[in-house]
């Protein structure tokens, strides 16, 4: 199962010619047999980030959006705040597992990670820190397997066709005649 993935790098200084994290994600998703829909660099501005992500989640051909950067604690870091209001559901386990894995390499600095994942309009979203180490960890230890339909006992790729199921069945009432 090949998924269509959009990549967004959040940076005020990077370009497509100087984006090692974006380059790595692109290479890895193509190596895994997925398709790149589009790759952009966006300034660290929550409204511009939200506009780009919204455009992709409104596009039925995009299955996954992965952003990198803008997840720190400084005043300019606003990717989680930009993306979180767009989510229909969060995948809390992603951030929890990412921080556990990060702790193995960066120790207590992992507590600063504000990465997150969720679903919006049937599209999976992953918000990653911008460092090459963080992107490599997230892809190779979490995202890659979850986008692979052969991963057992379950994976996100298998859920894709069911993401837009109605959440509730209609309420049935008796009408007085």
pLDDT attached to residue 176: 63
Looking at the structure of the chain, the number of domains it has is 1
Is position 168 within any domain?
Answer: no
In this prediction the pTM is 0.92
Q: What is the CATH number of the domain that holds 32?
A: 3.40.980.10
Q: Which residues contact 99 (CB under 8 A, 6 or more apart)?
A: 110, 111, 113, 115
- Show the domain range for 131: 19-159
70-87 pLDDT, tens digit per residue, is 998 988 899 999 999 999
5-35 pLDDT, tens digit per residue, is 999 999 999 999 999 999 999 999 999 999 9
Report the range of poorest mean pLDDT among 12-16, 36-40, 147-151, 172-176. Answer: 172-176
Is position 176 within any domain?
Answer: no
φ, ψ of residue 118 in degrees (nearest 5): -175, -170
Is position 11 within any domain?
Answer: no
97-116 pLDDT, tens digit per residue, is 999 999 999 999 999 999 99
Judged against a pLDDT cut of 80, whether residue 167 lies above it is answered with: no
């Amino acid at each position: 199962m090949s998924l269509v993935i959009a990549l967004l790098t959040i940076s005020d200084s990077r370009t497509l010619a100087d984006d090692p994290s974006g380059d790595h994600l692109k290479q890895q998703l193509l190596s895994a047999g997925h398709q790149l829909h589009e790759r952009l660099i966006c300034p660290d501005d929550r409204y511009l980030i939200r506009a780009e992500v919204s455009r992709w989640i409104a596009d039925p051909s995009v299955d996954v959006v992965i952003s990198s950067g803008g997840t720190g604690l400084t005043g300019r870091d606003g990717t989680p705040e930009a993306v979180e209001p767009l989510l229909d559901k969060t995948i809390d386990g992603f951030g929890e597992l990412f921080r556990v894995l990060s702790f193995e390499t960066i120790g207590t600095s992992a507590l600063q990670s504000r990465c997150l994942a969720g679903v919006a309009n049937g599209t999976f979203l992953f918000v990653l820190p911008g460092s090459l180490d963080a992107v490599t960890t997230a892809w190779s230890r979490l995202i890659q397997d979850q986008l692979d339909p052969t991963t057992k006992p379950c994976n996100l790729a298998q859920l894709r066709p069911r993401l837009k199921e109605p959440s509730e069945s209609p309420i049935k009432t008796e009408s007085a005649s």
